[in-house]
């Protein structure tokens, strides 16, 4: 599975999975604001420059794709 914490987040968002092939953060309107590939087992995303609100985090792992809603304060 994919763990995302803290949620809501203020400065950093942590993503954990067995293997993160790709992770992308989108606004609810569909604008991509962050993307990384081959991040290993743990990923720290600096979110300090992003506006407060809800976002979609799309994480691709060997087991499939997981999309979660995250809140930035």
Residue 49's contacts (CB-CB under 8 Å, 6 or more residues apart) are none
Cβ atoms 41, 16 nearer than 8 A: yes
> pLDDT per residue over 3-34, tens digit each?
999 999 999 999 999 999 999 999 999 999 99
Q: Residue 50: what pLDDT?
A: 96
Q: For residue 36, give both structure tokens.
A: 């990384």
> pLDDT per residue over 29-66, tens digit each?
999 999 999 999 999 999 999 999 999 999 999 999 99
Q: Residue 14: what pLDDT?
A: 97
Q: How many other C-beta atoms are found inside a 10 Å radius of the C-beta of residue 54? A: 11
């Amino acid at each position: 599975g994919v763990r995302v914490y803290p949620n809501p987040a203020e400065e950093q968002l942590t993503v954990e999975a067995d293997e993160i092939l790709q992770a992308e953060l989108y606004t609810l309107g569909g604008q991509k604001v962050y993307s990384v590939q081959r991040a290993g087992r743990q990923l720290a995303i600096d979110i300090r420059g992003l506006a407060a609100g809800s976002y979609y985090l799309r994480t691709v792992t060997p087991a499939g794709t997981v999309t979660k809603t995250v809140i930035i304060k």
